Amino acid sequence: MKQNKLAAVCAALALTCLCGCASEPVTSTQHSVALVAKSTETEFWLSVFAGAEAAATEYNVKLSILGPETEEDYETQNQMVAQAVQEGAEALVFSAIDYENNAAAIDAASSKGVKIVAIDSNVDSEAVSTYIGTDNYAAGQMAAQAALDRVEGELKVGIVNYDISSANGQEREWGAVDTFTASGRAEVTAVINTLAEARQACDDTAAMLRDHPEINVLLAFNEPTSVGAADAVEMLDAADRIFLVGFDSNVVTVDGLQEGSVDALIVQNPYAMGYLGVESAYKLLSGQGSGLDRTVDTSTQIVDRNNMFTMDSQKALFAFEQREN
Amino acid sequence: MKNRCPHTGLRITTILVSMVVGVVAIILCCCIFLFLDRYRSAMVQSAQTSSAQAVSQVSNTVGNYLMDMDQAMQLVKQSLLESTDSRDELLSAFLKFRPDVVAVTSYTSDGTLLDCWSPGREPKEHIFRNLSFDLDRARTSDGAFMTAPHVETLFEEYYPWVVTLTAPLADGTEAAWVSLDLSFASISSYINNVGIGQRGYCFLMDTDGNIIYHPQQQLIYSGIKSEDTAALAALADGAYADDTVIYCVTSIEGSDWRVVGVSYVDELVNRNVTEMIRLSFLLAIVVLAAALLTSWLLSQLLGRPLRGLADAMESFETDADHFTYRPVGGTREVQELSDSFGHMVVRIQELMTTVREEEVNLRKTELKALQAQINPHFLYNTLDSIAWMCEQGRNADAVKMVHALARLFRISISKGHELIPIAKEIEHAESYLQIQKYRYKNQFTYAFDVDPACLDYLCNKITLQPIIENAINHGLDLMVEEGHIDVQVKQDGDDIVFRVQDNGVGMSAEQIEAIMQRGPKDRTGIGIKNVNDRLKIYFGKNYGLHISSEPDVGTCVEIRMPKVREGDHETK
């Protein structure tokens, strides 16, 4: 009799196990992720969004994309962070306009349990689980090295940078300045911090070039400033005299590269940033966050006139998916 | 009888249940294993088939598209033969109806761009590099050929990804080649909508392993994903399954493009297999439970009657006399066994009764024989005494003696009954004592102490007389001073206790032992042993006679028997 009871208990146990297995939910709830960008205008950011949306589709994530109108407006960004958290975002994929002034908003979001993934430009917060983007210091070095390799003699460098409080712009500038200083034949003649907007950048660059006619190398550290610098060079008809190294891919700078106003482009991988940012957010939310690295370096490559139509450069420069812009 | 050996064997329930469940479990395991193995291979097979079907559909569609493009190319070729005006008109109409054609370009025999037609766009003045035309390849290939994907580089601020179809033109025209730049709009609509399973997809590559179109082309270009196209390019057409992925490769007829279908074994197969495993285990548990229940019921059916029989036998063993057999139900075999046991019980009880009756008869006969032996001896001694009394003229005493003698014989006969009322037995003992007192010339005195409540109960006849005789012969006969005999009858719970006490010389333990064992053969009279035996036969081993004696102090004989009333014991 005792043994029968035992058997009955075993059977009951096995049944409950099975039922447990069977009732295990296969469908998980859809996570909500917000991407707060620096801008919603440039090709760079559109490419980030395309990558983010691809990841959102693949991982069944509800993605909302937000970004201020100008790349200096960190206050709006902070509001957007708060708004996204209020609207129920469980994770933020964030690119900081201001390394320091965005920190409080991110900390506040994190204190409500929101996971933070930084892309492109980091923020001064312990809450950032992982940073996905370009190694900006190395990208700056790369830009300087591109100029050093292709220009002979003395280099008088003018730097067109954007907002001084943005982490990635400053890192790129340090990398470039360090490399120029180390080379011994280059001198940084002027540095301007203009707006990340082509027209303003164009005017400021033209002003700088007028003030310092000796400048023979120009570095511009993001897409709008590169476009502005290229316009300025073309406007002053200085394409032959000035070696311009720009950042990122834009139809204007790509045209400039073929026509001569732009001499080299440091091309980042925005699609990967967007994709990996949302993927990391999903992993954090679904409990696979332990495998994430603190920093993920997305690839960067130099494109100049000679290699611009190799397959690799084509892949880096031109988005496969055509966008309506 | 008490020390039975402990049972070490297993119960029938244990054996049956474990055997049935064990066998069922083993068979089930084998069946499930075999079934799942077969099922999995069947599932993989069907997944491969469905994958191959999807791929062949895509291949047909893309093949049709390519044929369509070939026809379009023929149309363009014909258009180019027309005069300039009608050619432009024809081509602009063509481009209008073919939105996926980005540009039509024609080239001279040295590869210079001659003309370019594109809806709403003009080519750049200085084309830095034209990726849409490859002079070396154009010269080496015989007919039309298709390039790998590249960026359209003819226009300003417009860089879509295209593939180029280039065909040679008939001699005699200015243009030697014409190219069509095709966007992926149509191809993507064919490929993107193909799903194999939940995550499976198709992509296009050429025979060299270049990806032509992939639903996640941008991911591949960004370096986040990759396809092992080098390995796939080496494979012939067909389906290839490894542990996780099923690849299905089909060439598109009339081109160097191939369609590759990628589907995942885990989602197509493993989910179904997991479902099956779950189902089979559920089934297995149900079957096992059923087997358990059945075997348990079966063992109950067999085991319970057997246990009932065993219990019955055990109780029969402990108390055969009062055992009444109730038949045990169950299967036919058990019923037969039960019937046999029932018959056996009846038979054994009959035999036991017979044996007891025979024993009783034996003792009765023995008693009668002894009585027949003792009486003459005792009789002539007593008659001698009576005659002597008459000679001396002690007529009154003689009359008393004669009366006592007469009473003695009447009671000892007592119509042949074995059990007589205690009152009669007391009367009998008293008559005997009277006679002996005369004969022994008042050498002893005696006294009776009888609980009047005991008088109506029955006792074996001639119980007290042998003991009194023993007391006189062994205890008092050898004494110098006057002896005394006390006869006591008392109740003790459900029993009645007779006690005969003398103050004679007493007996040693050996003497007591000898009296209890000795048969009546070596001496006359009914022995104490006979009394003890009769008591035990009639009332069981708990009853009987007990002698305690102390030399020079006296002997006490205690007789214990149950309270028996008239009618209780008549049958025995």
Read off the pLDDT of residues A162-208 as tens digits, 9 standing for 90 and up. Answer: 888 888 899 999 999 999 999 989 999 999 999 888 899 999 999 99
pLDDT at A275: 93
pLDDT at B375: 61
Give pTM, 2 decimals: 0.65
Determine whether the interchain pair B14/A314 forms a contact, defined as Cβ–Cβ distance below 8 Å. Answer: no
Determine whether the interchain pair B224/A275 forms a contact, defined as Cβ–Cβ distance below 8 Å. Answer: yes
Residues of A in contact with B129 (CB under 8 A): 309
Query: Which residue in chain A is spatially nearest to B16 when comparing CA positions?
Result: A4
**CA–CA min distance B196, chain A (Å):** 15
The answer to whether the beta carbons of residues A58 and A286 sit under 8 Å apart is no
Per-residue confidence at A139, pLDDT binned at 50, 70, 90? very high
Per-residue confidence at A3, pLDDT binned at 50, 70, 90? very low
A23 pLDDT more than 50: no
Alpha helix stretches (DSSP H) within B319-421: 332-391, 395-413
CATH number of the domain located at residue range(s) B349-562 in this protein: 3.30.565.10
Helices B185-192 and B12-81 pack at an angle, to 10 degrees, of 170
The structural domains of chain B, with segments of one domain joined by +, span 349-562
B296 near A CB under 8 A: yes
Query: What whole-number distance in Å separates Cα of residue A117 and Cα of residue A139?
Result: 21
Residues of B in contact with A315 (CB under 8 A): 221-222
> Among B158, B218, B288, whose Cβ lies nearest the Cβ of A320?
B218
Type of residue numbered A70: T
Query: What whole-number distance in Å separates Cα of residue A263 and Cα of residue A254?
Result: 10
**How does pLDDT run across B239-252, given as a tens digit for each residue?**
888 878 889 999 98
Higher pLDDT pick, B426 / B518: B426
pLDDT at B448: 92
Distance (Å) of CA A140 to CA A106, A204, B255, B327, B477? 27, 21, 46, 105, 146
Burial A94-129 (b: 16+ CB within 10 A, else e): bbbbbbebbbebbebbbeeebbbbbbbbbbbbebbb
pLDDT at A25: 41
Determine whether the interchain pair B289/A309 forms a contact, defined as Cβ–Cβ distance below 8 Å. Answer: no
pLDDT at B571: 45
B175 pLDDT more than 60: yes
Per-residue confidence at B50, pLDDT binned at 50, 70, 90? confident
CA angle, residues B49, B54, B56, in degrees to nearest 5: 90
**CA–CA min distance A273, chain B (Å):** 10
B236 near A CB under 8 A: no
Taking the CA atoms of chain A, what radius of gyration do you get in angstroms?
24
* Complete DSSP assignment for B514-553: HHHH--GGGSSS--HHHHHHHHHHHH-TT-EEEEEEETTT
Per-residue confidence at A212, pLDDT binned at 50, 70, 90? very high
The mean pLDDT of chain B is: 84
Structure-token match 């031109």, residue found: A318
Nearest by Cα to B202 from B151, B119, B260, B285? B260
**How does pLDDT run across B52-89, given as a tens digit for each residue?**
888 898 899 889 988 988 898 988 888 888 888 888 88
Mind listing the domains of chain A with CATH numbers? 31-134+269-293 (3.40.50.2300), 136-267 (3.40.50.2300)
**CA–CA min distance B235, chain A (Å):** 24
B226 near A CB under 8 A: no
